[in-house]
Structures are given as structure tokens and as C-alpha cells.
Amino acid sequence: MEGIRNWLLPALLAIQQLAYWPGRALRDGDQTGAAQLTAALIVAVVITAGLGVRRSRPVAAALVVEAGLVGGSFLPEDATLLHSVAVLVALYSVVVRRPVRTAAPVGAVLVVAEAVRAAMLFDSVVEVGGETLVNCALFLTVVGLGRSRRRWLAGRRAAARDLARAETERNRAAGTERLRLARELHDVSAHHLTSVVVTADAALRLGDRRPELTGQALEFAAGSGRETLEALHRLVAMMRTRAADEESGIEERVGELADGFARLGLRPAVDVAPDLAALTGPVADAAFGIVREALTNALRYAPGAAVRVRIGVFERDGAVDLRVEDDGVAGPTPPDASSSGARQRLGAGRGTAGMRERAAALDGTLEAGPRADGPGWSVRARLPRTTAPLRRHASRHRALRGLDPADGATVLAVASLPVFAVLAESPGDTALACGPALVHALPLLWRRRAPWAVLCAVLATAWLAPLGVAFGIVSPAVALCLAVGGAVAQCVAVHAVGAFAGPARVTWPAMAVGAAGLSLSSLALAAADGMADLDQDGGFGAVVFMACALGVLFLFPLAVPWTVGAVVRARRERIRAIEDHALTETVRAAVFEAYEERRRIAVELRGEVVRHAGEVVARAEAGDLKGVADEARAGLSSMRDLLAALREVTDPGNVRGPRRHPTTAGVRTTPESPEKEVPPSPPRTRTPEPSE
């Protein structure tokens, strides 16, 4: 099928050209030599072969087609008439399939080659200039159409990539959620229970020689158990948040997170820049994760502290500026935070490292440490946004925002038409016609951004021709050429309204507005030229009648570009709606699957681990040190089974099995092992976590 698409159009053009010449010449009995017939056949084969590879090698195809046309310049003009269309098709393929830096030089080469070919065909400088100008207008029109098509295809490819990425994320959503929850389960609770087991076993072994260790171990087990329960309850609550959390704006997500930590004793204050309130996507997810980890650390090391969360924008590059600062310990500090061993039991130093990993995944940076301006802790992250440089560039050139080379090509193509007409009618006035023609077409640069304003500007500049005749600046012939070019510009503007200004039920008056403007400017031109004396031909009533008649006459040709624009817009919106729906459904499914995985794990977590952690506290308060150790081991065993299940399901092909985590297997003692005194750790102090 692809081969048929590649060769069908070249074959049809070649057949039609050969049927037109030399077919018609032979049918009419014209004298045609064998050399000319052979040359015409060779040119047709070369052009057809070149055009056949326009999809795979567009630049080579354009150059081969143009070389074939130049080589056939010695043939009669009719011998390459239809072959000229092949140049436009080849240039269109170049513009669609190659970037501007490639298409622009190719277009320039084609213009020069066509000028040389025109010089070989025509003797008059005026004819050569006119032919070159017409070719420029045609080439620019093709460039505009090609750029529009390229932009459309780029949008479809981007939508396809987004959908494929969303499908990939959906397929691994549950697995990703398992890994993330496994890491958090390990960090927030496994080391807590491990420390309880180690301390309880040491106190049981050394109880005869150090009886004071039993009370300290029970006190430590009760505190660690409560902290574990608090962390587990908080994690379960986070798992059971609504499924749309990931789709909410960063301000709403961080606000709900702060409210949850406020109920646990912190005093958080959230300040989000207005233009970031609705931020979603990877940057928002990373910022949310960093804030959550920073608040967790603040709750762990500075319970009751005032915490300020600020999410702003760096003025230099538009990246997200995230700051989480607390004012130090405002309540009793939990014990055991100074030694490196205790730090590992509480979180293995993964808090700051995890935040750095989130920032590094977006090519960002993160700094954490004591505040320089007072007591407390500070976390600051810089998260780049890929759209920031584009916005910064657009703000510097607001008038040129959203413009494309296709817009400039459209303006030049429309402006060259009246100039060519003036060149053919009155070559001496060509320079005088360039200015009005360019002014009349210049508003079309912004036809995508402000189509209604562009239509009004084109209608206003249409009065340049009658005013020029009235003041004797231009001749009536030049003014007529400018009026014809203005009509073309109005057709383009009406098409822009239909394609970019809104649905058809809103934009249909553009046809009437354009027809009214054309009729009034035409009457003014006729009056300025003296072709109509409106005062003697019936007065105001005659003017109204003639304006209405001309308006109806112009309405039908203007309906064509508007209809084309409206149809193109409807098709574009329909395709985008289908793509958006597919992407939305895929993302929603991914969020739902991740939510269901959280909910399932939350049920399993509450079933065993939370129960054993609660028993640790109860046995510690009852003074049962052996029961504390047994319940802590049972909790660790349940945690180990849950973590192993999570990792095995996530990576079933892992032949090495799930990664081992601290469990009771790593803290049991055997009779052969020497007894080592493990005293309870001293009270904790706030120290920076080592970076990985």
C-alpha cells in the first residue's frame, strides 16, 4: 500500500503530461521529431523516478525533479507544463518531512533554478521577472501548507507518544506503587522494630548483671512502638486517600498533607505561588514527595515545631523553588538520634537521599541542613520545568508569540499576487505597489492568534486602493490589482476565522462581514475611478442596493474558504477529543490501579503489622520484656513477608529473590556467639543525614 501511494501520483502526472504533449501534438498532426519525443520520454522518466522517492528522500527528489525540468527547457513549453506540478509536490514533501533549516535552502535552490529556467524560456525581462514572482508565490504557498501539515503531524506524534507513555505507566502503575510503598514501609517501621528487638534481647541477656537495662529497654520499646504505630497509621491513611490525589493541583495536595501533619502535632504553613497552584505532572509529584518526606523528618526530630512550606518560581529560569523550613524542636525530643547506628535504625539515612533522588530524576538539585538564619532545619529544592525557557522567550517577544515560518510564507505569497499583476500590467509602477500589497497582507501573520482582529485589519487596509486613486497616488489599473490581491487576503482571513476563531455557529458571520467589506471598498474604488457617479445614479438608495448586490455576489466565493476552515477545525477538534479521551482514560486507569494497590496493601498492613506494633506497646507498658521481643519479632516477620511479596510480584523474573531487609534473623543470638553488651542509646540530637 505504501508503494502504491508513493508511485500513483508521479505515474498519473507522467501519463497526463505525455497525453498532453506529445500526445495531443501527434493527434493534431504537428511536426514532432524523434529526438524531441525521446527527450520528452527521458524527462518524464527522470521526474517520475525522482517524485517516487519523495517520502523517503524528499531533498533528493526535489533536486532531481528540478534538474529534469531544467534539462527539458529546450523542449516546447507544453512538454513540461504539467511536470511543473511535480516541483510543488516535491517541495511540499521536503517541508513536511524536513526541518526549516533544511527546507529553506532547498526552496532557495528551486527558486534560483526556476529563474534560470524562465530565462531560458523567455526573452523579455518582464516575462522572466513575472514568471519568477509567480513561482515565488506558489512556492511560499506550498511552504505554508507544508508547515501546517508538519505541525499537525508533530502534534499527532506527540499525542501518540503521550498515550504510549501513559499506557506504559498504566501497565507498571501497580508495580511502581508496590516498590514505593515497600521502600516507605521499610524506612518508617522495619528499623524501628529491629531496634526494639536488639534492645530487648540485650536487656534479657544482661538482665542479671545490669538490671537497670530492663527498665530502659521497656521504656525504649514503648516509645519506639508508639512511634512505629504513628508512622504506620499515617502511612495507612496516606494509602487510603482518594484516587484523584495525583490529578489534583500541587496546592491542594500539599494543603491536605499539611492538614494531616497538623493533626499529628506540627504547625505547618503552606505558601504556593498563584501560577503554580494547579501544577500537576512529574514536577508536582516530586515536589509533593519532597514536602512529605521533609514534614515526616520534622515530625520525627522536631515534634510540635512550626514548619513553613514555600513553593515559588526562580525568576532566572522559571524552575520550581521549593523550601521547607522549621524553627527547631518545640517539644520533647524523642530519644536516640545521635549515634549513626540509631540513625540507621530510624531510617537508614534514606530520608534526605530519597528527596535528592526525586530532585535528580528531574535534573534538579536539593540541599538539606541546619538553617543559617537561626535554629531549625531547612530543605530547599530546585525542580526545572521544560516549558520555562519557552515562556521566558515568549514574554520577550509577545508580538511574535506563536508565529511560524508558515505565517510569513502566507504573507509573502498573498502580497506577491498583486505585485505580479502590476508587473504584468504596468511594470513601471511595480515598486509603488509593493508597499500597499505588503501592508494589506501583513495582518495575516497573526491569523491564528487573533483571526477576528486580522479580518478587521484586512478589511480596513482594503481602503488603501480607493484612497490611493482618490489622492492621485496610484493609477486605477494599479489600484485594481491591489483590490484583487486584497480580495485574496480577505479569503485567507475568512478561512482563518473559520479554522481558528471558534465553532461554526460562532464564526459564520465572518462571511457576511467579509462580503460587506469587499462590496463597500469596491464601490469606493469605482467612485474614486469615476466609473460610477453615485450622486447621479440614484443617490443613497442606489448605493445601498449596489452594496447589497455586490455583497451577495461576494458572499458565495467567501463561503468556500470559511467552509474549508470550519471543516478543518471540526476534524481537528474531533481528533484531539479522541486523543484526549484516550489519554484521560489511560491516566485515570493508572491512578485507579495504583490506588487499588495502596488500598490492598493497607488492608494487609493493618491486619498483622499494626496489630503486632500495638502489642509491643502493650507488653512494654505491662513490663513483659520477653513478650515485647516476641511481638517485635512477629511484627518484623509480617513486615518481611509483606515486603518480600511486594518485591516478588513487582519483579517475578528476579532469580536472586527479593532483597533482604533487617529482620529478626539478623538480630538473633546463638549460644556460640559471645555476649556483647548493647546499652540503650542516649537521647537523640538533630544531626544532618549523610548523603549517598
Q: Distance between CA atoms of 643 and 635, rounded to whole angstroms? A: 12
Which has the closest alpha carbon to 525: 451, 475, 599, 585?
475
Helical (H) or strand (E) element with 635? helix 625-650
pLDDT confidence band for 84 (50 / 70 / 90): confident
pLDDT confidence band for 58 (50 / 70 / 90): very high
Residue 667, pLDDT > 50, answer no
Residue range 413-418: mean pLDDT, rounded: 85
pLDDT confidence band for 337 (50 / 70 / 90): very low
Residue 587, pLDDT > 70, answer no
Per the model's pLDDT, the better-predicted residue between 351 and 457 turns out to be 457
Per the model's pLDDT, the better-predicted residue between 626 and 590 turns out to be 626
pTM: 0.55
Quick one: pLDDT at residue 95? 93
Per the model's pLDDT, the better-predicted residue between 508 and 595 turns out to be 508
Residue 674, pLDDT > 80, answer no
End-to-end CA distance of the chain: 56
Please, where are the H alpha helices in 321-429? 340-347, 350-361, 388-396, 405-425
Handedness of CA 460, 461, 462, 465 (dihedral sign): positive
Span of 9-18, 174-183, 403-412 with lowest mean pLDDT: 174-183
Residue range 544-559: mean pLDDT, rounded: 88
Residue 642, pLDDT > 90, answer no
Per the model's pLDDT, the better-predicted residue between 664 and 107 turns out to be 107
Quick one: pLDDT at residue 457? 93
Phi, psi values for residue 308, rounded to 5°: -110, 125
3-state secondary structure of 653: coil
pLDDT confidence band for 349 (50 / 70 / 90): very low
Per the model's pLDDT, the better-predicted residue between 149 and 662 turns out to be 149
Residue 454, pLDDT > 70, answer yes
The x, y and z cell numbers of residue 384, run together, are 526545572
Query: Within its chain, how far is the Cα of 53 from the centroid?
Result: 32
The x, y and z cell numbers of residue 114, run together, are 526556476
Residue 125, pLDDT > 90, answer no
With vertex at residue 383, the alpha carbon angle to CA 380 and CA 385, rounded to the nearest 5 degrees, is 155
pLDDT confidence band for 425 (50 / 70 / 90): confident
pLDDT confidence band for 380 (50 / 70 / 90): very high
Per the model's pLDDT, the better-predicted residue between 399 and 360 turns out to be 360
Quick one: pLDDT at residue 324? 94
Quick one: pLDDT at residue 64? 93
Quick one: pLDDT at residue 243? 39
Span of 117-121, 285-289, 400-404 with lowest mean pLDDT: 400-404
pLDDT confidence band for 314 (50 / 70 / 90): confident
Computed over every residue of the chain, the mean pLDDT equals 77
C-beta of residue 417 within 8 angstroms of C-beta of residue 482: no
Quick one: pLDDT at residue 46? 92
Please, where are the H alpha helices in 72-190? 83-97, 100-121, 125-171, 173-185
pLDDT confidence band for 307 (50 / 70 / 90): very high
pLDDT confidence band for 138 (50 / 70 / 90): confident
C-beta of residue 40 within 8 angstroms of C-beta of residue 71: no
Quick one: pLDDT at residue 528? 81
Q: Distance between CA atoms of 515 and 520, rounded to whole angstroms? A: 9
CB atoms closer than 10 angstroms to residue 363: 11
Residue 606, pLDDT > 80, answer no
The x, y and z cell numbers of residue 611, run together, are 496489630
Quick one: pLDDT at residue 120? 86
Residue 344, pLDDT > 90, answer no
Q: Strand 267-272 to strand 306-313: parallel, antiparallel, or no bridges (unpaired)?
A: parallel
Quick one: pLDDT at residue 508? 93
Quick one: pLDDT at residue 310? 94
- pLDDT tens for 59-82 read 999 999 999 988 888 888 788 888
Q: Among residues of the chain, what percentage have pLDDT more than 90?
A: 19
Per the model's pLDDT, the better-predicted residue between 420 and 651 turns out to be 420
Q: Strand 365-370 to strand 306-313: parallel, antiparallel, or no bridges (unpaired)?
A: unpaired
Residue 90, pLDDT > 90, answer yes
Residue range 626-637: mean pLDDT, rounded: 83
Residue range 20-44: mean pLDDT, rounded: 84
Q: Among residues of the chain, what percentage have pLDDT more than 70?
A: 76
Quick one: pLDDT at residue 391? 41
Quick one: pLDDT at residue 540? 64
Residue 670, pLDDT > 60, answer no
The x, y and z cell numbers of residue 118, run together, are 524562465
Per the model's pLDDT, the better-predicted residue between 454 and 234 turns out to be 454
